[in-house]
Amino acid sequence: MPSFHDVSFPLPLAFGASGGPVRQTEIITLTNGHEQRNAAQANSRRRYDAGVGVKSLDDIHKLIVFFEARRGQLHSFRFRDPMDYIADNEIGIGDGVATEFQLSKTYFDTAGSWKRAINKPKTGTLMIKLGAAQTTAFTADYMTGKVVFATPPANETVISAQFEFDVVVRFETDQLSASLEGFGAGGGVHVPLIEVLTNA
Average pLDDT, the chain: 91
Enter the pTM of the model: 0.88
Q: How many domains does the chain have?
A: 2
Q: Are residues 24 and 54 in the same domain?
A: yes
8, 80: one domain: yes
- Comparing CA positions, the residue from 58, 72, 52, 11 lying closest to residue 188 is 52
58 & 150 share domain: no
State the Cα–Cα distance between residues 182 and 54, nearest whole angstrom. Answer: 9
Residue 152 falls in which region: left (phi positive, over 0), alpha (psi -120 to 50) or beta: beta
Beta bridge partners of 29: 35
User: Is the domain of 80 the same as that of 170?
Assistant: yes
d(CA 2, CA 22): 24
Straight-line distance from the first to the last Cα atom of the chain, in angstroms, rounded to the nearest whole number:
14
pLDDT in tens, 26-69: 899 988 888 988 888 888 999 999 988 888 888 888 999 999 99
Question: Are 54 and 63 in contact, with CB atoms under 8 Å apart?
Answer: yes
Q: Are residues 46 and 79 in the same domain?
A: yes
38 shares its domain with 95: no
Say if CB 83 and CB 89 are below 8 A apart: no
Domain range for 99 is 86-165
Residue 151's pLDDT is what? 97
Alpha carbons 95 and 9: distance in angstroms, whole number: 39
**Inter-residue contact 47 to 172 (CB < 8 Å):** yes
pLDDT of 117 > 80? The answer is yes
Give the model's pLDDT for residue 186.
Answer: 45
Say if residue 50 is in the same domain as residue 33: yes
Q: What pLDDT is stored for residue 200 in this prediction?
A: 45
Q: Of 19, 76, 28, 82, whose CA–CA distance to 47 is shortest?
A: 19
Q: Which residues, 6+ apart, have CB-to-CB distance to 92 below 8 Å?
A: 98, 101, 102, 153, 159
Shared domain check, 109 and 57: no
Please indicate, yes or no, whether residues 155 and 190 belong to a single structural domain of this protein.
no
User: Are residues 2 and 64 located together in one domain of the fold?
Assistant: yes
Asked if the model's pLDDT at residue 2 lies above 60, the reply is yes
Do 103 and 118 touch, CB atoms closer than 8 A?
yes
Residues 107 and 51 both lie in one domain: no
